[in-house]
Structure 1
Amino acid sequence: MTAAALLSLSVLALTLLLCLWLVLSPLRAGAPEDPDAAERARLDAERERLYTQLQTLDDEAARPALERRAALTLRALDALPPAPRAGARLRPLALGTLALAALAVGAGALTVIPRWQLAALNAAEAQNVQATLALPALKTRAERTRQNADYLAWGKAAFDSGRYDEAVSAYGNALKLNPRQPEALRRLGILLLTRGERGSEAPSAQDATQAALLIRTAAQLAPNEAESQLLLGFALARFGEDDGALRALERYRTLDPQGRDADELITAIRARQNESDPGLRVYAANCASCHGPSGGGGVGPSLRQSVLSRDALRQITVQGKGAMPAFPNIRGAELEALLDLLESWQP
C-alpha cells in the first residue's frame, strides 16, 4: 500500500471515530428530543438496506432503479432539519471534524464518483462517466498483460468515452492477436472512415476502402449484432449505396427496437430516394401512413410479404378492398411507377 493510500485511510478512520464520538455525545449530555427522530431512523435504515443490496447485487439490470432510490433517500435525509445538539461546547470539535472530513472527501473526489451521484445522469451519460474513470486502469492492465480480453476492455472504454486515438491503439492490438473480432473490426473501420470529422486529415481513397472492408467483414461475422448493422448502414450511405444502407439500418432497428441512432440518416436516405424515384414519391404521399415508410407494415399489412400479381395490385390500389381505401387519382405513369416499386419489394 502506498504512503498516500495509507494516509487517506488513516484520515478516514480518524474522521469516523470523531464522528462517532459526536453522535454519542448528545446522548450522554441529554440532548433535547428530536421530533424527526423516527423519520430520520427510517431513512437511515432504508439507506443502509439499499447500500447492502447494491453491494451484493447479482442482477445488473436492477442496479439503476436501486441507485435512483438510494439518491432519493439521501436527498430526503438532507432535507430533514438538523437534529438538536447538546450545546455550543461541541462547536470547536465539530469544526475540526468538518475540516478532516473535507480532506477525506477531497482525496476521494480525485479518484471516485459515488454510484448514487450517477443516478442523476441518464444511462448513456453514466456509462461514459464510468468508462472514463475506468480507462487509466484498463490501459495499464492491457499494456502489462498484452491479453486479447484486456485490449478489448480498454478499447471499449476508450471508444465509449470518446478517446478515439486510444481506441484505435487498443483495438489494433486486439486484432493482431485475433483478426476475427467483430467489435474491433467495425469500430476501427468507422473511426478510420470518420477521421476527418474529428479534426485530423480525411482518409485517402485507399483508407476509405479499407474501412469499408473492415465494417463489412464485421457485419458478416456478427450479422445479428445491432451495432454491426448500424455502422454498416452509415458506411454504405457514405459510399452512396442508399438501398444497401437502408436495408442495414432497418435491420438495426429490428435488432434494437429502442435504438434511435439511425433515425436521421434513414429520413435523409428516404428523402433522397423520394426525389429520384417516382415510385417512392407516390408511395410516400399515399401509402406510407398505413403500410409504413418502407412497406414493412403499420396500420395496414406489410407490402414486402405480398405475393399478389401486378394486375391484382393495380385493382386494389385503384378500387380499394376491405379496409383499404380506393386511390383512383393514382393513374398513368405514377401508377406504373408505384406498381414497379411494390413488385420490387415482393419476396
Structure 2
Amino acid sequence: MLSPLRAATPDDPDAAERGRLEAERDRLYAELRAGDEQARERPDLERRAALTLRALDALAPAPRAGAGRSRALALGGVALAAVVTVAGALTFVPRWQLAGLNAGEAKTVQAVLGLPGLRARAQNGGDEAAYLAWGDAAFGAGRYDQAINAYGGALQRDPRQPQALRRLGILLLTRPERGGQALSREDSDRAALLIRTAVQLAPDDAESQLFLGFALVRYGQDAEALTALERYRTLDPQGRDADDTITAIRARQNETDPALSVYAASCASCHGASGGGGVGPSLRASTLSRAAIQGIIRNGQGAMPAFPSITGTKLTALTDLLEKWQGEGQ
C-alpha cells in the first residue's frame, strides 16, 4: 500500500540510497501501524519517519522504467482519462507536507498511515464524505494516484462537488511535471473544464481561485491569472502559495508594457497587482475622469502620496491603463 509506484533503474545514481530510505520508511510505518497509539516510542518513530520522508523528497526523481499507469476517472457522464504517477511533486501546488520537522510532519506521517483505513471505508459502501476524506488525506500526503481514485468516487456520487473537481483538474494539468506522459490538447481542455466548473460552483473558495490562477498561467493568460490569484489572496490573506507565480507574472508584464511597469513600481503595492484594490481602493471600480486621475497622480489625495515624477509619456501610459481598467470593471 505504501510502496512507491516508481522503481529505481540501473541509470538512477541514487538507486542505492533511494532503496535504503524506502526500506527504512516502510519499516517505520510498519512499526507505527503495529504499535500502541500511546506508546512512549511513538513520537520518536514519527520523527524518524518524517526525516526519512524528507531525505527521500530531497533526491532527484528516479528515471522512469516504463510507461505511466493509466487510470480511468468518471465524472458524471464525462469520461476523464489520465495517466498519473507519483514521481515528483506538483509544480504549481506547493508541498504542504515536509516543510519542516514539526507537528505538521508528524501529521503527514499519520495521514499516510491512515490511508488504508480511509480507502477501505470509502470502497466498502462509503458515501461522498468517505471518498472526500480519503481523497483529502491522499492529496495532502502526496499520494496522488489514490487522490484521483478517491475524488473520482466522490464525483460519481455528486458530480458537482467543487473540491473533487478542482483537484482532479489540477492533477491532470500538472501530470507532466510528475513524470507522466505529455498532456494532450483533449486532456488539457478537460482539466480547464474541471477547474472552471469548480470555480463556478465555489467562487469564494480560496483554493478554487488559486488553482484557476495556476491553470490560466499554463494557458498563457497572465492577466486573467493575476486576477484569480489576487482574488485568492483576498480570500486567504495568510496564503503564500501564489507569491512566486504573481511575482513572475508581474515581471513578464513589466517587460512588455511600459504602463504596467510604471503601475508596478508606484501603484501596485497599495492598489493590487491588477488594480483590484488592497490597502488602497479598487481602481477598477473608479469613475474618475481622465483629468481627475492625472491630478491625483501628480498631487496625491488623502492617504495617497503625490507622484510628481510621473510625467509625460509615463503619465499618459498610466492614465490609459487606469481608464482601460475602469471600462473593464471588477
Q: TM-score, normalised on structure 2?
A: 0.66
Q: CA deviation at 1:145?
A: 1.4
Secondary structure of 2:207 counterpart = helix
Higher mean displacement: 312-321 or 174-183 = 312-321
**Cα distance in 2 between the residues matched to 1:200 and 1:268:** 25
**Cα distance in 1 between the residues matched to 2:324 and 2:317:** 11
Aligned counterpart in structure 2 of residue 145 of structure 1, from 110, 118, 125:
125
**Cα distance in 2 between the residues matched to 1:304 and 1:126:** 45
Q: 1:220 maps to what in 2?
A: 200
**Cα distance in 1 between the residues matched to 2:303 and 2:122:** 62
Aligned counterpart in structure 2 of residue 336 of structure 1, from 308, 316, 320:
316
Q: 2:111 maps to what in 1?
A: 131
2:228 maps to a residue whose letter is A
| Runs of 5+ consecutive residues of structure 1 not aligned to the other structure | 1-105
Q: CA deviation at 1:114?
A: 5.4
Higher mean displacement: 277-286 or 264-273 = 277-286
Give CA deviations for 1:93-133 in whole Å, capped at 9, x if unaligned. xxxxxxxxxxxxx9666456659947995464344223212
Higher mean displacement: 174-183 or 112-121 = 112-121
**Cα distance in 2 between the residues matched to 1:321 and 1:126:** 52
CA 165–332 in structure 1, closer or farther in 2 if over 3 Å, else same? same
- Where do residues 268-287 of structure 1 align in structure 2 (5 Å cutoff)? 268-287=248-267
Q: 1:256 maps to what in 2?
A: 236
Contact 2:198 2:208 in 1 (8 A): yes
1:203 aligns with 2:183: yes
Secondary structure of 1:145 counterpart = coil
**Cα distance in 2 between the residues matched to 1:325 and 1:170:** 53
CA 277–133 in structure 1, closer or farther in 2 if over 3 Å, else same? same
Secondary structure of 1:200 counterpart = coil
CA 123–216 in structure 1, closer or farther in 2 if over 3 Å, else same? farther
2:151 maps to a residue whose letter is Y
**Cα distance in 1 between the residues matched to 2:301 and 2:32:** 70
Say which structure is richer in helix: 1
CA 107–209 in structure 1, closer or farther in 2 if over 3 Å, else same? closer
Q: CA deviation at 1:322?
A: 5.5
| Runs of 5+ consecutive residues of structure 2 not aligned to the other structure | 1-29, 48-99
**Cα distance in 2 between the residues matched to 1:322 and 1:148:** 52
1:287 maps to a residue whose letter is C
Higher mean displacement: 271-280 or 126-135 = 126-135
Q: 2:90 maps to what in 1?
A: none
Contact 1:297 1:303 in 2 (8 A): no
1:263 maps to a residue whose letter is D
Contact 2:230 2:273 in 1 (8 A): no
Aligned counterpart in structure 2 of residue 318 of structure 1, from 290, 298, 303:
298
**Cα distance in 2 between the residues matched to 1:234 and 1:108:** 37
Give CA deviations for 1:281-307 in whole Å, capped at 9, x if unaligned. 011223334545444243x55434432
Higher RCO (C-alpha under 8 Å, 6+ residues apart): 2
1:267 aligns with 2:247: yes
- Where do residues 132-211 of structure 1 align in structure 2 (5 Å cutoff)? 132-211=112-191
Higher mean displacement: 200-209 or 109-118 = 109-118
Larger radius of gyration: 1
Give CA deviations for 1:17-54 in whole Å, capped at 9, x if unaligned. xxxxxxxxxxxxxxxxxxxxxxxxxxxxxxxxxxxxxx
Secondary structure of 1:137 counterpart = helix
CA 260–321 in structure 1, closer or farther in 2 if over 3 Å, else same? closer
Higher mean displacement: 203-212 or 310-319 = 310-319
Contact 2:227 2:274 in 1 (8 A): no
Q: TM-score, normalised on structure 1?
A: 0.63
Contact 1:194 1:202 in 2 (8 A): no
Secondary structure of 2:124 counterpart = helix
Q: 2:87 maps to what in 1?
A: none
